[in-house]
Structures are given as C-alpha cells and as structure tokens.
Structure 1
Amino acid sequence: MAEDVLYIGIDLGTFRSVMVSSGNHEEEELTVIGTPKDPIARNFLKRDVLFGEEALKNRLALNLFRPLELGVIKDTKEDREFIAHFITHLIGLSDPEDHNRVVAVIGAPAEASHVDKTAIFDAAAGSVNAAMIISEPFAVAYALDMIEHTLVIDIGAGTTDLCRVYGTIPGPGDQMHTGYAGDYVDAQIIKEVQSKYNGAQITKDMARRWKEQYSFVSTSTPDDPIMVDFSIEGKAMTLDITDCMQRACESIVEPIVDNVKKLIADSNPEYHDEFRRNMVLAGGGSGIRGLGALIERRLSDMGDVNVHVVDDPVRLGAMGGLRLAMEVPEEMWKNLTLAST
C-alpha cells in the first residue's frame, strides 16, 4: 500500500504568511503572535498563544510579536521561539495528523533562506518528516514555470528580493535584497502626509490600508484625487493625499532598478537579453498600479525590457513551494523527524 504523504507549501512572509497543501488546504495568516499580558487576560482568552487576525483583534490584552523583520528572524530567544510556534501553527492548519508522512517546502525572504535556515528547520522539526527551505523569488518562478533565465522582483513587506533563476536552485550570488519594500512605502506615506499637513495623526496600519487601496505610480495615475480621513491635532479631516501617495510609492523604484541592473550585469552576458525580457514582478508590492510599466521605463536604457506582473501575488509563493514539494526528489531535502514508529 502506498504511503499516505501530505505535501505542504508555505510562504513565510514578514507581514503575511500563506500555507497550501495537497489536501486542498489554503490558509492565509498575518505573521503576528500574541501572548496574554497577565493572568486575567489568560483566563479571558483561554489560550497561551494567539495568531494572526485573532491576535490583532485582541491586541489590547496581548503582548504582540512580529518575529520577522526585514526578511530575517529577529535575533532574540523569544522571537526564535515564536517563529517556531507560528510555523507549527501553520502546518497544523493542514491536519497533518491525518497522514502517515508530512513533507514541506518553506519559501522565505532571500536573506532568511541563508541566515536563518537552521532556525526554520528547527521550527519545522516537530511537525514534518522532511523539509526544504528555498528563497521566495525562486518559489514564485517555479509556480509560474518560468525557471529558465528569469529575473524575479519580489516586493514583500520587509524586503524586496531579487533573484536570477536559470533552471536550478539559486545560490547566494544570484540573489540581492533591499529594505525598500512595503513597510518602507508605509513609512514614506506617513512622512509625506505629515510634511504636507502639519499635525497629521497617522498610524502604520492607516498608511498600509491606504496603500493597499490607493497605491499608484506615474504610469497609472488615478482619475480622481485620493481623499482619506484622519485627524489633525484631534480634529477630524478629509484631505487629498494623491501627491503624497505617488511620491511614497515611487520611492522604492530607483533602488529596485539599480539592483536589477547589477544582477543582469553580473550574469553571463550570453543570457542578458533573456533576463531583460523575462522579468517577473511579484509580492504584495506588485499591486502598486503602474509599477511594472514604470520599472520597464526606468530600465529602457538597457535595451528591450519586459516585466510580467503576476496575477495572484499572495498565494503564488506558497503554490510554488507545494509544486516543488510534490516534484523534487526527496534526497535533495534535509531530513528532520524520521523516527521509526
């Protein structure tokens, strides 16, 4: 009788993580963990740890932790423990107890893939039989079946990861990252609005919501001004932030373009044309309207450039991980809890 194997793909993101499985599970969870502040909170919540939206909903009664920062696990004992809790929680959503064997491919930001590989393996050890850690840009390319001379630009919350893909798992020299990503845009929105409107009171969550709803660059300007509600010294206002939004969104373009040029220039010159014509824009930041066209325009001095903007940036990395889990021979993997039963 064939062994009953559950295959899992995970996109471990700074802001949001996604899990998909061969058992038709699809789960999206904010990468945030909460623990009760005191015994009263513990009795009220009836749990020691809460995750994602549920943690945010009860945040006043919790100590909140975001264990990933700028694409890497924060260097504290607490955060290493919390990322282990979080990975165990994600895997648990796939009902692994219903299967004889569980194997997982975890896509992480490019830097986490190298710096924190051991910590991620350790975190997964209690829940899976075997695991492989890959860079998130490679998972995206694999999901799209675009692993032949492709350059992936994956704009996450903490980092923008760039990766040359050419038919094999990329090495450190094939990847670059920059902190000019989603969280940076949020901070720039706050800075731009407060510069325009003295005394404006804006939180990071407000800026993120505005970005997710209204973000754009010069190649796709909105027909109507962007009007949002916020307070100025406690007074409710509805004001125009169109110019603020454009400047904030465009603030990440030049660093990305510079890194793309470096990755292409450092590659085998026989394949420069293919890398220029096979660029993929992925991650949550790919949702900024007009961004793909603007990157093409800023790279036009390099020759004929084509940037493909993905259709499903949230699930794509996890889907690539699942496909890898089901297709890649397991002898390539690092075995974890293989105790006989």
Structure 2
Amino acid sequence: MNMDLNRDTQNESDLLSPNIKGNQTAIKVGIDLGTSRSAICTSRGDRMVMASVVGWPKDAVSAKVFGRRVLVGDAVLENRMALKTCFPLKDGNLAFTQADCTDRETMRKAGLHLFTALRQAANPEPHQEVHAVIGAPAEATRENKQAIIDLANEAGIEGVMVVSEPFAVAYALDALEDAMVVDIGAGTIDLCRMAGSLPGAEDQVTVFHAGNHVDARICELIQQERPEIQFTSNMIKQAKERFSSLVDTHKRALVQFPINGRPTEIDITEQITAAVSELVPHITEGIQKLVSTFDPEFQHRIRSRVIVSGGGSQVYGLQEALEKGLEELGGGKVVIVDDAVYAGSQGALKLAQEMPEDYWQQLGEDS
C-alpha cells in the first residue's frame, strides 16, 4: 500500500520543520527518540544506538580527564561518578517542556546536545543538509513536538518531521492496515491502530507504566525483602534486561550485588517476574481501549495482528501473556518484531526516504 504524504493527508498531530530547502543530496535519517536510549538509521546504511543522557565534568580535574566540556551517550553512564548527568527526556517527552525555571535551561541544553550527537552520528558531508523523521510518543503534546523540531533545527538538522513511534514501526513493517502496534519503551508504552491511513489522535494511546516503572518496582521489592543489599538503578536495569521473564524457567536471576562492600550472589528472580508482570494488564487495557472504539465490523482484524516492539518486547513469555490477556476481548494474535532496537528508526528512515524531494522543497517555499 502506497501512502501519498501531501498537505491534504498529513495529519495535524504530526509536525514538520519550516527550515527545509529541498536539497537533493541531503542525507536522510530516521530517529527513535527514547527516554533511555535513542536509535538512528541513515540513508547510507549506518545505524547506531546511544544512551539518551548528557554529562558535564564536575570540576577542573574531571574536565582535564575527559578533555571535553560535554559528553553524550554511553560514555556518560560509564563515567557518571565524575560527571553531572542529565536525562533530557522524561516519559518520552523533552523534559525541559515540563520543568520548572530552575532546571529548564539545563534540560534544554541537554536536549540540544543529544540532537547534536545524533546529527554527528549521521556523519554528513560538510555543508550537506540532514532531513530527519523523528519518532515521539503516540500522545505527545503539540508543544513537545514543536520543541523537538526547534532543538533539532538548532542542532543543525535542517528538515524535521515528527511522527508517533508506533506509526514508525508500522511503516517499517508495511503494517499500515488491519494492525495494532505496541511499542514498549522506558518512559512510555505507545499503542497505535492502523486502518490504512495516517493515524489520528483517536487511533493512539500512551501508557506511562513502562520500563522505568518496572525498574523502580524491582528496586522497591528488593529493598522490602533485603534492605541490606546495595545496588543502583542502572544495576537493576541491566539485570532486568538480562533476566526478564513472565514464565517459570530453570534460569534464575542470579546477580552479584554488594552487602557492606562484599560482592554477594543474590536471587532476584521473583522480584523481576513480579514487576514485569505488572506491564501486561496496562498493555491489554490500552489494546481494549483502541479495539472498543474502532468500527465493530473490523475490530477482529486489528486484534488478529498485534505487533509488539521496543526494548520491553524482549521479555520472555510476553507474546503468550498478551494473547492470554486478549482472550477476554475475543482472542487475538501477537507478534514480536525481529529487530526491537532499530524497528522504529528504520521505519522513520523509510518514511524520510519515500517522501519526494520536491515535497521537502515545497515545505521550505511555503514557510
């Protein structure tokens, strides 16, 4: 199915940058802007994922050690003891749009540095324009989408289009009709039903009980049972990503966490399973909302093609758990994407490439 993206069909919930000049040689990129990690795919075939975090040296000593004023990505997590860190996204949105006056400018600068790093990851030639399609949460506010465009433009990305993350996944898989996409991230779970046209606000739902909430819940459960154990949220995240499961297996979640400074083997299988299990009812509730408000003649179609993407899609046993949850709605079929890391950014890139060059140029002439 081909989609003609012109001004008549462009959904007003998606925004476009007015800075586009219509450069035939512009490099095209797709960006999945995530609360925890951001992924980018380029028209040259390059792709990269980085932690969505920015850090500044704490003092003159750390500035000398790093030789840079700002660090972005995984290097920040690896050296966070010597850095002042900032996560520029919260619940999938740019944090500065929700911050008070004290932190607003710092968070805005962090967002700008993240977009600058993403542009550098595209590796454009000197004076080569960059045109990007960027995935945002399904129910992101218009203010947040405009903030994404403004920061991306300021970072040197000349052309920007913002779409919902689950729509980008659907575009990557050509699942543009009779389907529902569930994108499970760190900050949000985004759901979008596809009926053969650009989805509107009524076709999308955002759930804020996502990966970060699971991390916090695991921490809480461990502290309740073993308050003497020492750990960080990053240690919990790594354990969750390695051991997450919704079914009983012989594989135990055995981790080495310190107690009074001494590494000790701890079994946190039950805590991880309990916390991850809390995702399922939130997802099925979102699916039910989108199914129940759809044309009753076609509800069975989207139930029969539920596509799950994002980092949270890798939970062992999730497919079976969701299909069991869908039984109350009359049953359904759930499929987990093959490439959870890059599905969104690959779809965003595909959309950027399939938009005709004269369309980008027309946007610039109309601005």
Does the pair score TM above 0.5? yes
Relative to structure 1, the CA distance from residue 43 to residue 228 in structure 2 (aligned partners, 3 Å threshold; closer, same or farther) is closer
In terms of mean alpha carbon deviation, does 138-147 or 191-200 score higher? 191-200
In terms of mean alpha carbon deviation, does 82-91 or 136-145 score higher? 82-91
| Structure-2 residue corresponding to 1:265 | 292
Cα distance in 1 between the residues matched to 2:350 and 2:295: 28
Matched, 1:153 2:174: no
| Structure-1 residue corresponding to 2:6 | none
* Percent pairwise identity: 39
Give CA-to-partner distance per residue, 1:73-126, whole Å, 9 cap, x none: 113222122212211211122222346432110112224463411111111114
Cα distance in 1 between the residues matched to 2:85 and 2:363: 30
AA matched with 1:165: M
Relative to structure 1, the CA distance from residue 335 to residue 65 in structure 2 (aligned partners, 3 Å threshold; closer, same or farther) is farther
Cα distance in 1 between the residues matched to 2:90 and 2:361: 25
| Structure-1 residue corresponding to 2:66 | 45
Equivalence map 1:267-306=2 (5 Å) = 267-306=294-333
Give CA-to-partner distance per residue, 1:46-76, whole Å, 9 cap, x none: 2111111112222222110101011111132
Report the TM-score when normalising by structure 1.
Answer: 0.92
Equivalence map 1:1-341=2 (5 Å) = 3-75=24-96, 76-98=104-126, 100-112=128-140, 114-126=142-154, 127-218=156-247, 221-329=248-356
Structure 2 SS opposite 1:116: helix
Cα distance in 1 between the residues matched to 2:27 and 2:240: 37
AA matched with 2:146: T
8 Å Cα contact 1:198-1:232 kept in structure 2 = no
| Structure 2, gaps ≥5 residues long | 1-22, 97-103
Deviation, 1:156, is: 0.2
Deviation, 1:232, is: 3.7
Deviation, 1:45, is: 1.8
Cα distance in 1 between the residues matched to 2:141 and 2:157: 18
Report the TM-score when normalising by structure 2.
Answer: 0.85
Relative to structure 1, the CA distance from residue 34 to residue 272 in structure 2 (aligned partners, 3 Å threshold; closer, same or farther) is same
Cα distance in 1 between the residues matched to 2:221 and 2:75: 31
Relative to structure 1, the CA distance from residue 318 to residue 310 in structure 2 (aligned partners, 3 Å threshold; closer, same or farther) is same
8 Å Cα contact 1:14-1:69 kept in structure 2 = yes
In terms of mean alpha carbon deviation, does 189-198 or 292-301 score higher? 189-198
Cα distance in 2 between the residues matched to 1:334 and 1:5: 11
Deviation, 1:130, is: 1.5
| Structure-1 residue corresponding to 2:17 | none
Cα distance in 2 between the residues matched to 1:335 and 1:120: 21
Cα distance in 1 between the residues matched to 2:263 and 2:237: 19
8 Å Cα contact 2:136-2:145 kept in structure 1 = no
Deviation, 1:27, is: 1.3
Aligned-CA RMSD value: 2.1
